[in-house]
Amino acid sequence: MRLEPRTHTPLAVRILAPMGAVVAALALCALLVAWTGAPVLTAYGLLVEGAVGSRFALTETLTRATPLILTGLAAAVAFRTRLWNIGAEGQLYMGALAAVVLGGGMLNLPFWLLWPVVLLGGALAGGLTLLGPAVLKVRFGVDEVVTTLLLNFVVLLFVSMLLEGALKDPMGMGWPQSAPVVEAAELPKLVARTRLHAGLVIALALAVLLWLIDTRTIWGYENRAVGANPRAAAFAGMPVTRVMLRTALLSGGLAGLAGAAEVAGLKGYLTLDLSPGFGYSGIVVAMLAQLHPLGVVGAALFIAGIFVGADAMSRAMPVPNYIADVLVATSLLCMLVAGLLARYRLRRG
């Protein structure tokens, strides 16, 4: 038996490979679950039930998936053009910051105008945050992995400073949190008496829009060419610098939008625990989706389901909810292996 490179990967293999990877990840993590002494099948059953088993579970998973879709798209869009944006977390907080500033009552606009302004302001703040590192990259060749990663800490400390100072809610009992946004800045709820908000619809629409741009327009064409071979793209006369800066604005904008939507749709105010690492998880989402905009939706739902389900499971079983992190990480590793194996076929002899 030996492996042999494929010249063409059939669609069935491309769809089955990620599913096989998830099954393999679940099988591997079953060992850890069994180690805690819990019955494996019951534990996984509870996990699935906690993720999609009820109206509440389902809306919680979808709520959790909303920022993950947006940060996943942010990573996917950037990585496709080989802009290694590791700073989605910081861009998310900048977006959230813009949202509480714009939505905090300083603009007196009607409801149908205010929340779009808040979201767009958040996206713009996120986009501009990534534009800086992108300009440094194209002008001076500064490695954007370093600059975007370190900017995360700069942004977090900046937000912390504001929450302790200028933006601190006078009614907040001394907690480092901002004043809540006004009612007109809040996103409409999708399902009554749940936390699910209109951010999900916006995220889904953006995923479809980005997929159309990627495959149907000269923008997407340029992005793919610059991502796959920047030298050949420049030789053919494509505006490589412009493509990079455009991608930076878009990627940072999506991450900023995730932050603004969390504030305007869910929390209402800004604290330093707004995001449990959505920016970093977005990278995992994008990798699981193999950078495909529609795949991002599936990957984000999967990861959100694991986290929400693991929370529910850990309440009923002696399995800590950290199993969610392990499951997601194992899935990513299995996915990378599956992606590699899908490029080969097994041959006897």
Closer CB to another protein, residue 168 or residue 345? 345
- φ/ψ of 2, rounded to 5, equals -150, 165
Closer CB to another protein, residue 245 or residue 264? 245
Tokens of 163: 């929450």
Check residue 333 for interaction with another protein (CB under 8 A).
no
Residues 6+ apart with CB under 8 A from 135: 245
Q: Min. distance of Cβ 213 from another protein in angstroms?
A: 9
Q: Min. distance of Cβ 212 from another protein in angstroms?
A: 9
CA dihedral 33, 34, 38, 41 (to 10 degrees): 80
Binding mask 212-251 for another protein (x = CB under 8 A): ----xxxx-x--xx--xx-xxxxxxxx-------------
The type of residue at 83 is L
| Segment contacting another protein by CB under 8 A, of 4-12, 21-29, 108-116, 198-206 | 4-12
How far apart CA 90 and CA 70 sit, in angstroms, is 14
Q: Min. distance of Cβ 141 from another protein in angstroms?
A: 14
Closer CB to another protein, residue 36 or residue 229? 229
Using CB under 8 A, count the residues that bind another protein: 21
Q: Min. distance of Cβ 10 from another protein in angstroms?
A: 14
Q: Min. distance of Cβ 4 from another protein in angstroms?
A: 5
Closer CB to another protein, residue 22 or residue 250? 250
Closer CB to another protein, residue 228 or residue 316? 228
Check residue 347 for interaction with another protein (CB under 8 A).
yes
How far apart CA 29 and CA 50 sit, in angstroms, is 18
3-state secondary structure of 37: coil
How far apart CA 289 and CA 196 sit, in angstroms, is 23
Check residue 344 for interaction with another protein (CB under 8 A).
no
3-state secondary structure of 198: coil
Of 4, 139, 165, 173, the residue at the interface with another protein (CB under 8 A) is: 4
Identify residues 159-218 at the interface with another protein (CB under 8 A). Answer: 216-218
Chain-centroid distance, C-alpha 256: 11
Strand partners, 257: none
How far apart CA 88 and CA 277 sit, in angstroms, is 9
Whole-number Cα distances in Å, 172 to 35, 103, 269, 304: 44, 17, 11, 30
Closer CB to another protein, residue 194 or residue 241? 241
Check residue 7 for interaction with another protein (CB under 8 A).
yes
Q: Strands 2-5 and 344-347, how do they pair?
A: antiparallel
Closer CB to another protein, residue 170 or residue 237? 237
| Segment contacting another protein by CB under 8 A, of 2-10, 37-45, 107-115, 200-208 | 2-10
Closer CB to another protein, residue 189 or residue 224? 224
How far apart CA 154 and CA 272 sit, in angstroms, is 13
Tokens of 54: 């009820």
Q: Min. distance of Cβ 232 from another protein in angstroms?
A: 5
Check residue 141 for interaction with another protein (CB under 8 A).
no
How far apart CA 154 and CA 147 sit, in angstroms, is 10
How far apart CA 150 and CA 323 sit, in angstroms, is 28
Q: Which residues bind another protein (CB under 8 A)?
A: 4, 7-8, 216-219, 221, 224-225, 228-229, 231-238, 347
